[in-house]
């Protein structure tokens, strides 16, 4: 499991897309001029019973003053990484 990995969800042309990045970077730096709809931290785990990646989003970005949407963001990041 990777601790304190950060993420933002950006909206472009009506689509929401995740950007996952190292904790050394600031949410605001990564966001730039993009429209951010959610931000926080994400932990990843693999279920031993099935070859599935699980994302767990939590917290909020202080630099952007926006929080995570755990149920929505979890699924969006999983779909993006697994290309589903």
In this prediction, residue 47 carries a pLDDT of 74
- Which backbone phi and psi does 28 adopt, to 5 degrees? -65, -40
- Give residue 46's domain range: 5-82
Q: Which residue has the higher pLDDT, 2 or 74?
A: 74
Looking at the 3D structure of the chain, how many domains does it have?
Answer: 1
Measured over all CA atoms, what is the biggest interatomic distance in the chain, rounded to whole angstroms?
A: 41
In this prediction, residue 1 carries a pLDDT of 46
The string of pLDDT tens digits covering residues 49-80 is: 766 788 999 999 999 999 999 999 999 999 99
**Looking at residues 12-22, what average pLDDT do you find?**
95
In this prediction, residue 3 carries a pLDDT of 59
In this prediction, residue 41 carries a pLDDT of 97
């Amino acid at each position: 499991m990777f601790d304190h990995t950060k993420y933002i969800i950006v909206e472009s042309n009506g689509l929401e897309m995740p950007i996952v990045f190292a904790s050394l970077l600031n949410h605001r730096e990564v966001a730039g001029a993009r429209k951010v709809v959610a931000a926080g931290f994400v932990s990843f785990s693999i279920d031993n019973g099935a070859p599935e990646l699980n994302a767990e989003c939590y917290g909020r970005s202080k630099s952007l003053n926006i929080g995570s949407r755990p149920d929505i963001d979890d699924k969006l990041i999983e779909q993006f990484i697994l290309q589903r």
